[in-house]
Structure 1
Amino acid sequence: MRAAYRVDHIRAAEERLIGRDGDEAVMRRAATGLAVVCARLVAATRGRVTGARVVLLVGSGNNGGDVLWAGAWLAGRGARVVAVPLATSVHGAGRTALLAAGGRLLDTGDTSGAEREIRSADLVVDGIVGIGGTGALRPTAAGVAAAALRSGALVVACDLPSGVDADSGAVADRDAVVRADVTVTFGALKPGLLLMPGAEFVGITHLVDIGLGADLLGVGPPATRVLQADDVALLLGSPGGDDHKYSRGVVVVSAGSDDYPGAGVLVAGGARCGGAGLVQFCGLRTGEVLSRFPDVVAGESAMPRATGAVVGPGLSGTARDAMESQPLDLLESDLPLVLDATALRWAAESNAWAEVVRRRAARGAVTVMTPHDGEFLALGGSADLLRRDRLAAALELATSWGSVVLLKGATTVVASPTGHSWVNPVAPPDLATAGSGDVLAGLVGSWLAAAEARLASDGRRLSLDAAAEVAAAAVWVHALAARLAVGDSRQPLAALELMEALPAAVGVARSGEYPGGRH
């Protein structure tokens, strides 16, 4: 698992590290990591570093110093390195090192010279502003960033693409930001590398260890976390010799209606194909579900051995109707519960329904709410905060409802009311299709039920943080299923195909490996 830290925590940890090792030693450590990645990229594209044309975009701060030292390393190995200063002064020791290694430094303000060098570059390295930068780039810097994009050269960002907010991923002006192919970040991930819209400009991320680990642990908890393939494998596990259908989780599904008959199929299928030991369907249109999945059990109320439930996708009627219906019985239980779609609308529109949800939180029952942006706003989430900082917005809503919030989107955030969160930055855009969320709701419900069943055998219950981590793992596998379903075909993805890809995705997840490399 990788942790991402906000700027104030990174700064505090860096101060401790610099106090022990010295400023120049830490900077050169970071710069060497950056240079090594750059050298590998250049060698992969043109066969060797010698003679490669490298342009450095250099700001006034330490980020510019990192780039200058990296440029000196590359120049010492035969690269033709030119630095474009974008401030009246640049890092002194880095400047001296670059010139001593044979690199060149253009005059400040030489815009035409900068664009000429960029047009012929093999590699452009962004060191305009560091993690403390906020807002859009200034016009001159924005101009060279645009020139880098037009040039077709590989663009490597130092620590974070300039113009992206390190804490939130906010981008003030999409025309005044560096679009990187690769970002080399130091010490720890930053939330802005993971959260949209900033994540769109990051490319592939390389994390360079500069020795911050112990110091980060001493300055506070991470802002968020990102699951890796081996984390998901550990959370998911594999059936053991003593397992049976009940020990693998029994999930109850209340979904679908005459208006949305397919929702029940997709939710039950998501639960079933995700590995639930038993799925019980308690919604309308039972015939469609059972004809597709003869192993699903029908019923009007949850069976005694149920360990989880999903309520909401495709249900119809008003919140008043729901107060006298089977979905309410599931909310009044202590089962780990996924609330999606219509159930979220009822919670937003009805004080009585909302009170039932909050009573669950008060007695320690786990609820996972799965809103998209529109449902997030209906539930009382802040539109301004959602726009500025998606992570903070999800955490605020989770605290408000006392429930885990799985905020769906291009970057999905899973937030616990305890303040812990997980981000999934790898969801493919193919998931933006009708029914995708129904499949996800079933998958999350399946895994919550399985986790609760495992704990119940020892007399324990699922905690909010454990539920949030399970939900984050389900998001990860949901995205993987989409990638497997689409493959290299570039064909559109439908929800049924996504559902049918889940068993293969679960199998891959259990292996602890990600197709194409570690993730």
Structure 2
Amino acid sequence: MIRAHSAATVREVEEPRLAAGEPLMAHAAFALATHVARELRDRTGRVAGSVVLLLVGGGNNGGDALYAGTHLARRGCQVHAAVVSDRAHEAGLAAARASGVRVHELLAAPDLPGAVVDLAGRCHVWVDGLTGIGARGPLREPVAGIVAALAEERAAWSSLLAEPIVVAVDVPSGIGVDDGTVPGPVLPADVTVSMGTAKPGLLLPPAAALAGRLEVVDLGLTELADREPAACSLGRSDVAALWPVPGPEDHKYTRGVLGLVAGSRTYPGAAVLCAAGALRTGLGMVRYLGPEVPTSLVRAAHPEIVTVPGRVQAWVLGPGVDPRDAARTAELADHLDEAAGQGLPAVLDAGALTLLHDDVDLAGPTVLTPHAGELAELLTARGEHTPRRDVEAAPARHARLAAEITGGTVLLKGARTVVAAPEGPLHAQGDATGWLATAGAGDVLAGVLGALLAAYGDAIAEAVHPAASLAPLAAAAASAHGHAARLAAGLPFDADDDPAGPIGVPITASDVADALPGALSTILD
């Protein structure tokens, strides 16, 4: 699991260590230099003779870059430091000069962005130490202009082989460190070397897409183990630990029974796809309750489905249900009340989300699975006027707001899925591929999540597995769903894609459902 801590928490933990004289910057700089050297060797086949540019602003990240430059100079690199602040780390500057780093103090240059870009054009790697974790809001001048010019310059390079490598110190300059927003220009990184712990903006969208590969440097900040992270991302072993595996004494009722109310005459396929997602995860039984048209299709596609009422341990409500259908909406509301009365978990998707447009609080353990547009509609209906573009600009903030307003856990679907409960860490999963953005994929995800909750349903109802822990289960479902999409698209299981590597093939939602057993086999192996 990747755990990310807020800037305030990191500073609180670091301050007494720094006051005691611990050489945290020295350790950080050496690790940074090691990662830069590794990137050079992997990309160009050499370290000595490479030309490195240190982008140095004020504060400790600039200091880390300067000290890293001393190590790189000793390894035979030609190192330049573009200093664009009058508050650059003095000791770092002195050490850099003493080791042969060519320091360019550019603050007085008539065209500061142009001067930095001119210098950058001669370098193989750019080390971004322009801002630190204390930055808030959009970048201010002159750094904003420098970052915008560098980002434009890098985007204009025509060859991936010639393109400079960008290594960010702690965070790419310009991202929202704690909330993952992108409030202004950002210098996208190939690699971000985060000191001591990951920062939330490296996991949360949209900023996470600009961070490249994340490398976390262990600075021995053991106190962080006792601090709740602000955000986290499940790895394969974390998903495996959460996924129920049947034993020899299990039967269909102990493995979980999912109640499914989905589909309509207008959208009958939603019921079929949701059922497929549930069945392919390996739960005990699916009970489907719906009109004859979806019911006949579900029976034909999945003869394992039971279509009569009975005992269930979790519900999925709403995929493919038209909220304008008053009778069906009332049926969804009845099942939600039934689940709440029994303490059973429920997944509210698509048409069922409109049940929360009225000013009501959820009485039971519930996961909402909106996309950005649906979340914007829900927040607006609850008195928080929110255009879709605002949700897309700050997904984590709006997912948390919806969780606080409704009392539920919100799984906000997107290129990187965000899961927010009213309290506790945010979860962010970026395990999928862009090919997953296809009709019906959300229906499959609702089924996967419902099946996983059904396996835990009795424990949740008995408060052995409390509602507060729905967030990691929702994140695990999103991860498995994303890995299935990668498998279906013919992509490597590892989510760290190489831009020059395979792009995969188009997939349908049915392909994702079919790939779930293989994905789970790899996760559980």
Q: Decide: shared fold, TM above 0.5.
A: yes
SS at match of 2:298: helix
Q: Is the 8 A contact 2:256 2:285 kept in 1?
A: yes
SS at match of 1:297: coil
Q: Is the 8 A contact 1:17 1:211 kept in 2?
A: no
Unaligned runs of 5+ in 2: 158-162, 492-502
Map 1:72-87 to 2 at 5 A: 72-87=70-85
- Residue 138 (structure 2) pairs with residue 162 (structure 1): no
Q: What residue identity is the alignment partner of 2:7?
A: V
SS at match of 2:265: coil
2:132: which partner in 1? 130
Shift of 1:461: 4.7
1:17: which partner in 2? 17
Map 1:228-267 to 2 at 5 A: 228-267=235-274
1:517: which partner in 2? none
Out of 387, 396, 409, which is 1:391 matched to? Answer: 396
- Residue 146 (structure 2) pairs with residue 140 (structure 1): yes
Out of 204, 209, 213, which is 1:200 matched to? Answer: 209
Q: Is the 8 A contact 2:127 2:168 kept in 1?
A: yes
Q: Is the 8 A contact 1:308 1:449 kept in 2?
A: yes
1:104 to 1:419, Cα distance in 2 relative to 1, 3 A: same
Q: Is the 8 A contact 1:254 1:327 kept in 2?
A: no
In 2: Cα distance, 1:279 partner to 1:461 partner: 23
Shift of 1:21: 3.5
Shift of 1:199: 1.3
2:485: which partner in 1? 482
In 1: Cα distance, 2:238 partner to 2:193 partner: 23
- Residue 426 (structure 2) pairs with residue 421 (structure 1): yes
- Residue 228 (structure 2) pairs with residue 221 (structure 1): yes
- Residue 504 (structure 2) pairs with residue 493 (structure 1): no
Shift of 1:49: 1.2
1:140 to 1:368, Cα distance in 2 relative to 1, 3 A: closer
Q: Deviations over 1:308-359 (max 9, x none)?
A: 11010112353642465366235323221111000112332xx4xx64xx3x
Out of 461, 464, 473, which is 2:476 matched to? Answer: 473
1:141 to 1:444, Cα distance in 2 relative to 1, 3 A: closer
Shift of 1:469: 1.2
- Supply the RMSD in Å over aligned alpha carbons: 2.1
Q: What residue identity is the alignment partner of 1:133?
A: A
In 1: Cα distance, 2:117 partner to 2:211 partner: 22
SS at match of 1:394: helix
In 1: Cα distance, 2:87 partner to 2:73 partner: 21
Q: What residue identity is the alignment partner of 2:47?
A: V
Shift of 1:409: 1.5
Q: Is the 8 A contact 2:205 2:394 kept in 1?
A: no
Q: Is the 8 A contact 2:256 2:313 kept in 1?
A: yes
SS at match of 1:166: coil
In 1: Cα distance, 2:374 partner to 2:35 partner: 42
Out of 472, 497, 508, which is 2:522 matched to? Answer: 508
Out of 426, 431, 450, which is 1:445 matched to? Answer: 450
In 2: Cα distance, 1:366 partner to 1:319 partner: 25
TM-score by length of structure 2 reads 0.88
SS at match of 1:184: strand
SS at match of 1:379: helix
In 1: Cα distance, 2:323 partner to 2:457 partner: 30
In 2: Cα distance, 1:114 partner to 1:398 partner: 44
SS at match of 2:456: helix
2:103: which partner in 1? 105
Q: What residue identity is the alignment partner of 1:424?
A: Q
Q: Is the 8 A contact 2:321 2:328 kept in 1?
A: no
Shift of 1:35: 0.7
Q: Deviations over 1:74-103 (max 9, x none)?
A: 101111111111113421111111122121
2:160: which partner in 1? none
- Residue 278 (structure 2) pairs with residue 271 (structure 1): yes
In 1: Cα distance, 2:330 partner to 2:82 partner: 69
Q: Is the 8 A contact 1:370 1:408 kept in 2?
A: yes
Q: Deviations over 1:360-385 (max 9, x none)?
A: 52xxx311111111221222264287
1:211: which partner in 2? 220
Question: 44-53 or 180-189, which moves further after superposition?
Answer: 44-53
Task: Report the number of matched residues.
Answer: 490
1:370: which partner in 2? 369
SS at match of 2:52: strand
2:438: which partner in 1? 433
Q: What residue identity is the alignment partner of 1:295?
A: E
Shift of 1:120: 2.5
Out of 47, 57, 60, which is 1:59 matched to? Answer: 57
In 2: Cα distance, 1:149 partner to 1:79 partner: 25
Shift of 1:62: 1.0
Q: Is the 8 A contact 1:318 1:346 kept in 2?
A: no
- Residue 182 (structure 2) pairs with residue 171 (structure 1): yes
TM-score by length of structure 1 reads 0.89
Shift of 1:159: 0.5
Shift of 1:388: 5.7
Q: Is the 8 A contact 1:88 1:108 kept in 2?
A: no
2:25: which partner in 1? 27
Q: What residue identity is the alignment partner of 2:177?
A: A
Q: Is the 8 A contact 1:347 1:379 kept in 2?
A: yes
Q: Is the 8 A contact 2:40 2:47 kept in 1?
A: yes
SS at match of 2:81: strand
Q: Deviations over 1:94-152 (max 9, x none)?
A: 11111221211123245565434322221111111111123134223432443344451
